[in-house]
Amino acid sequence: MSYEVHIERSGIRAIIDLQGEPDAITGWTGNALPDFPQRPNTASCRGEICLFWVAAERWLLHAPLEREAELQALAPPQDAPVEISAVLVSDTLTFFTIAGRDAAQIVAIACPLDTHISVFVDNAVSYTEAFGLKALLRRIPDGFELAIESSFADLLADYLARATAS
């Protein structure tokens, strides 16, 4: 079967892993961050900078890699108060974009998570697995972003290529 899908290894992104209560984080960063998402497992964005709600009191501050210095200025890990954990983890995840008419079918092959739009809504984001590996999945316009630990990126690229082979 041939799939109408485009898969691109989009590489590493700027990411700061934040842990703590939203009020404490806002008190520390002021209004520098995007608004906190209103629902678990969703993202809130201000331009290219996004805040992902990935677990109880756990957030990923996310942006293109070229904006890493800006992220560090918004939420400087070295200045985090004791009730907040802020760790720069940019080099730990490699992102893949899966887009096109059949993107959901490819994600269904890779991932056990129900990604139907009625459940995994616009801007949904969640940790799950892809081909048995821990992964971060996000719905984007026209498809999904899938992030995997960087050391497994070549393996995921191979699995995705095999899943889309005719």
Q: How far apart are CA 71 and CA 55, in angstroms?
A: 20
Residue-wise pLDDT for 74-114, tens only, equals: 999 889 999 999 999 999 999 999 999 999 999 999 999 99
- Set out the domains of the chain in order of their start, with CATH numbers: 6-10+92-164 (3.30.1360.120), 14-89 (3.30.70)
C-beta atoms surrounding 67 within 10 Å? 17
Residue-wise pLDDT for 34-55, tens only, equals: 999 999 999 999 999 999 999 9
What's residue 1's pLDDT? 62
What's residue 166's pLDDT? 59
Q: Please, are residues 140 and 147 in contact by the beta-carbon 8 Å criterion?
A: no
Q: How far apart are CA 17 and CA 75, in angstroms?
A: 10
